[in-house]
Amino acid sequence: MKSTNNFLAVIIIILTVYWSFNSIIPSIPTNDTKLAVTDFSLDNALYHLKNISKKPHHSGSDEHKVVQDYIVNELKKLQLHPEIQVQTAINKKWRASTTTENIVAKIKGAENGKALLVLTHYDSNPHSSLGASDAGSGVVTILEGIRAFLAKNTQPKNDIIILFSDAEELGLLGAQAFVEKHPWAKDIGLVINFEARGSGGSSYMLMETNGKNKKILTEFLNANPNYPAANSLMYSIYKKLPNDTDLTVFREKGNINGFNFAFIDDHFDYHTAQDSYERLNKETLMHQADYFTSSLNYFSNTDLSDLNSNEDYIYVNFPLIKLLIYPFSWVLPMLLIAIGIFLVLVFLGVSRQKITVQGIFKGFIPYIISLVLCTGISFGLWKLILLVHPQYSDILHGFTYNGYQYIIAFIFLNIWILFKVYNYFKDEKTTDLFIAPIFISLIINYLIYEYLPGAGFFIIPVFASLLILAILIFMEVRKKSKATLFAVISIPTIFMIAPMIQLFPVALGLKILFVSAVLIVLVFGFTLPVFHQQKRKNKWQFLVGLISFTFFGLATFNSGYSIDKKQPNSLVFVQNSDSNTSYWATYNKTFDSYTNQIFNDSYEESNIPFNEGKSKYNTRFSHSKKAENKNLNTSNIIINLDTIIGSKRNLNFTITPTRKIDRYEFQNNTPITMNEFSVNGACYDEGKSFIADKGTLLIYQMANSDKDVTISFSINKNENPDITLNEISYDLLSNPKFNLKPRNETMMPMPFVVNDAIICSKKIKF
């Protein structure tokens, strides 16, 4: 009978883990044909997605115009009047610029209050991403969601502004152009933005606000989404990370609150040629649709004039009630209450001889050992795996195709370590061993209060553990019922934390598996009485060890590449037009048949000896090789103005391409102070002076409307600018001067770097 209860406890834990994931994503409707005309149709959305994700459509590409025309025509079919906002913008943070082409439309409301903006971007990442998820999923969610909304034939109270922004992938440039230059921007009270960093999984809600989150969170819950996936830990971490979305521009430059709805699973598809219609998870698309329809129906008819607040709320997914919320201000009182209860229970436990002082101190040994072993082994083992599988280093996302198998393997490895360690303490009192996890959790919660209050919900598992401890001290529960009872009490703990164990390595890369290890140790500590002193513990230990070993084996077996798991690779030709020298270069650490056609011999493990294209993660070329000079034509540079007025030297020059150029990069070789810097008439940082350090001065992506690029600035008359121009074209595989064999069907261009490119580098002579 006891074995049955132990088994039931494990089943409860497994079902809770499943519930925690399943409750935050919808299932695919079985029959779309039964939908009313006012319902969101998955079939309609997928039809749009298939049409707009056939080819890469980054800003400046031919397909970009095709997708733009498609969206405009679909809006016209809805009897809307879309316009194209053409505006050059410069992002100060990324030193990025282009002439954006935003698609904008409006549904007129019945009243004159603040407007609701629905937002996503329609450009894909340069140069090979198909952009089905990022952000084709957002485009089709809005197109189909607006169609269903208009089918109700009911005028909303608020204006609804629809913005398909351009050049998000280049530095949020379309959003910046809209906020700074479009007259409708001043009317907006709230933004809902749809994004993706993968091709599946639950879509998480992330707020952006310059104030506190109480009111905007309350309004989100009033909108009543069916599957809210959110927690305030992500909110706190997101605010500290450098990652931005279009919504960031509205918050920073327009002081406008908003919601990001973004999914991140299958991160290996992000910004790649595999971000395709076929690989987008349909349940994920329905999750985006649920957010859109609930938000649009509510916020188009509610007062958006004041969503600011002076109070922050803790929030986290919780069993039965979707989101548990309470003020940040409760974190310290709850911690003090927990400390008080803990001290009282320890005192009474010792008094009732259910706890021993010696046992308490002894109980810290296995817990600290477990914490050190699990985090240390998780960190070190992943480093070892990278040495065994060097090809993983070429997946710049940091999340491999077999990443989920590794996550499962590491989870069960850590559980095995925990069982193994505590097996040496099986004769100790459960109550004695239980004190250390609670005590350390209280310390963690104090650190949370001081440095990361958004994680304040971690006090909830402490209260659940204190309840278990109280039962152990005051009640004589039958041994055969203990495991099941404690597993039931632990349901909120497991429900809250289990998704985070997967979320961290998926979002931040497998190098962060040690954070998952910490969470596993915490959960094990909170649920220690479920497993300690079980006669079947050795059997559970054997089982989790077998599962871990199996998944490590599966991950190793699936460590290669295939048609569905394409190998990222890169080749770039770089010409220095000043010295008439050229090089081949690659970002790959490991070679394949595609890179071997160049790097088969006589190459160097080094960067090229002059400037090259800038990558998102500042990835440097890993190998280079001297190449035959191709004498490629370079852009014409005309100095329009070079004059001294007072103490300033004013410069203005125009760059006109002599071949198809996708991107210009201006590299500053000597620090210099610049004033009134502008590109095509658009000012950098409102014309303010800035120190241009050595490195990237500007990245300009040529737009479809661009014929040339004109730059002007002023400097001190005694200074001489030293600027190198890198002109980049993505035509290495099609240029007649080269004869490269194309990739096979198991390969794809490496994302996040300048790839399949010809780079011509030369200094600008002033």
pLDDT, residue 323, reads 95
Check residue 608 and give its pLDDT.
79
Q: State the pLDDT at residue 30.
A: 60
| Residue 758 lies inside a defined structural domain of this protein | yes
Query: Are 621 and 712 members of one domain?
Result: yes
- Per-residue pLDDT band at 35 (split at 50, 70, 90): confident
The tens digit of pLDDT for each residue in 675-708 reads 999 999 999 998 899 999 998 999 999 999 999 9
Asked which of 522, 557, 592 is the last residue of a domain, the reply is 557
Instruction: Please indicate, yes or no, if residue 320 is contained in any of the structural domains.
Output: no
Total domains present in the chain? 3
Residue with tokens 């859109």: 292
Of 539, 557, 575, which residue is a domain's last?
557
Give residue 287's pLDDT band: very low, low, confident or very high (50, 70, 90). very high
**Does the residue 32 lie in any domain?**
no
- Classify the C-alpha dihedral 491-496-502-505 as positive or negative: negative
Q: Is the pLDDT of residue 239 over 90?
A: no
- Neighbouring residues of 81: CB distance < 8 A, sequence distance ≥ 6: 105, 106
Nearest to 80 by CA among 108, 119, 47, 102: 108
Contact 717, 665 (CB under 8 A): no
pLDDT (mean) for 19-24: 95
Cβ atoms < 10 Å from Cβ of 362: 17
pLDDT-based confidence at 318, cuts 50/70/90? very high
**What pLDDT does 617 receive?**
57
pLDDT in tens, 597-644: 999 988 888 777 665 545 555 678 999 999 999 989 999 999 999 999
| Confidence at residue 619, expressed as pLDDT on a 0 to 100 scale | 75
Predicted pLDDT of residue 67: 98
Residues 577, 682: one domain? yes
CB count, 10 Å around CB of 685?
A: 11
pLDDT at 478 over 90: no
Residue 317 maps to a domain:
no
- For 288-306, how does the pLDDT look when each residue is reduced to its tens digit (9 = 90+)? 999 999 999 999 999 999 8
| pLDDT for 618 | 66
CATH number at residue 237: 3.40.630.10
* pLDDT tens per residue, range 77-109: 999 999 999 999 999 988 999 999 999 999 999
517 and 572 inside one domain: no
> Is there a single domain that holds both residue 537 and residue 615?
no
Using the structure block, give the residue that is written with the tokens 């001889």. 353
Check whether residue 291 and residue 347 sit in a common domain. Answer: no
Q: Please report which confidence band the pLDDT of residue 563 belongs to, taking 50, 70 and 90 as the band edges.
A: very high
| Domain final position from 557, 575, 606 | 557
- Least trusted range by pLDDT, from 141-150, 241-250, 267-276, 665-674: 241-250
Q: Are residues 210 and 64 in the same domain?
A: yes
Helix (H) or strand (E) holding 201: strand 200-208
542 and 605 both lie in a single domain:
no
Same domain, 383 and 507: yes
Phi, psi of 288 (to 5 degrees): -60, -40
Question: In the predicted model, is pLDDT for residue 536 greater than 90?
Answer: no
Taking residues 438-453, report their average pLDDT. 95
Q: Do 350 and 458 reside in the same domain of the chain?
A: yes
Residue 40 resides in a domain: no
- Higher pLDDT pick, 609 / 733: 733
For residue 403, CA distances in Å to 129, 265, 280, 512, 662 come to: 21, 11, 18, 12, 34
Mark whether 168 and 261 lie in a shared domain.
yes
Answer yes or no: do 596 and 552 share one domain: no
Burial class (CB in 10 A: 0-12, 13-18, 19+), 473: middle
552 and 617 inside one domain: no
Q: Is residue 324 part of a domain?
A: no
How large is the average pLDDT for residues 658-672?
94
What domain range includes position 429?
2-20+331-557
Instruction: Find where tokens 């707020």 sit.
Output: 207
Q: Both tokens of residue 740? A: 């490269």
Q: Per-residue confidence at 477, pLDDT binned at 50, 70, 90?
A: confident
For residue 691, give the nearest of 673, 666, 708 by alpha carbon.
Answer: 673
Q: What is the mean pLDDT of the chain?
A: 93
Q: Is the pLDDT of residue 24 over 80?
A: yes
Predicted pLDDT at 1: 46
Q: What is the pLDDT of residues 173-201, one digit of tens each?
A: 999 999 999 999 999 999 999 999 999 99
Average of per-residue pLDDT across 7-25: 94
Q: Is residue 276 part of a domain?
A: yes
Residue 540 domain flag? yes
What sign for the dihedral angle of Cα 418, 524, 328, 230? positive
